[in-house]
Amino acid sequence: MNKILIFISFFLISSIYSYIEGIDVSHYQGNIDWDKVKSEKQFAIIRMGYGNTGKDKKYEKYYEEAKSAGVQIGAYLYSYAKDATSAQKEANHALDLLKGKKFEWPIFYDIEDKEALKGDVNAILDTFCKILKDNNYYCGVYASSWYLNNKFDSDVLSKYAVWVAHYNVENPDFKSEWGIWQYSNKGSVSGINGDVDLDYAQINYADIIKSKGFNKSKKCFCYENFMDYDDDSEEDECSKIILEFLFKEICPLLPDENTISEEIDECELNYFCGSEETNANQNNNKTHYLNISILLFLISFLF
């Protein structure tokens, strides 16, 4: 009986303190077999670029191959910013690199350059992450534990995901809560030749990002809250017009979280647009505008 209790206790404790295992990569890792990576790791953070113009030469390849293998991914930009103005330029560059892509994990600002760390890192981080947040991305910061403890203000760090680097220790020496811990830069993973950075996550950012609708354009998230929408579909012209109206008129009014009540969904679109048979006889503009007016009236109660 005692052995059973000990086993149950061990199981519960290990469940509480279990980590999500991942890696972070840049072009230095060369060609990667992402199918093999997926067999061992649950997420990967990919370097997309550096500074306000640089792009990692493996970024596009890693993104496509990781997606194809079903690996959950995030991204990071290596910073050279020395002030808020240069951080703004780097944020705009990051947005260009992120355009048209979907990430399940946060977008991190890698602040470790010695010259960059001489500046006001709090203003630099705030500037970068505010711009990404305004564009619906879940933003975070990467730095060593010493710099996070000694150069950054805790009230600034508390607003963002924290990815701390600290090697050869049982736990990172960071005085606040961290989300991801880079615990080694000498790791070994199937599918990658040579050393690779290893990470533990104690916060499941993928669940947060999915539930809150981050890391998507407003257009994409607005559409997804109502129905699966295909820009090239011509099967349901009525729903298409309504959704385009929602994007142009309603999405810009959304709060920061970019959430819409799920009360209006595909069923209600079908109600206003009618069945497929009815739609065949409903393609005049007057009917469309009437449907839109009714839907707008209901949506007004959401704000």
What is the full per-residue pLDDT of the chain (303 aa) written as tens digits? 444 433 333 333 333 458 999 999 999 999 999 999 999 999 999 999 999 999 999 999 999 999 999 999 999 999 999 999 999 999 999 999 999 899 999 999 999 999 889 999 999 999 999 999 999 999 999 999 999 999 999 999 999 999 999 999 999 999 999 999 999 999 999 999 999 999 999 999 999 999 888 987 655 555 555 544 444 444 455 655 666 666 555 555 554 433 444 333 443 444 344 434 333 343 444 444 445 555 555 555 555
Cβ neighbour number for residue 167 with a 10 Å cutoff:
15
Those residues with Cβ within 8 angstroms of residue 138's Cβ, 6 or more apart along the chain or in another chain: 106, 107, 161, 205, 208, 209, 212, 214, 215
In this structure, the dihedral spanned by the alpha carbons of residues 37, 38, 43 and 45, taken in order and rounded to 10 degrees, is 40
Q: Which residues of the chain form CATH 3.20.20.80?
A: 19-212
d(CA 143, CA 153): 13
User: Which amino acid, residue 61?
Assistant: K
Comparing CA positions, the residue from 161, 84, 79 lying closest to residue 122 is 84
Has domain 19-212 been given CATH number 3.20.20.80?
yes
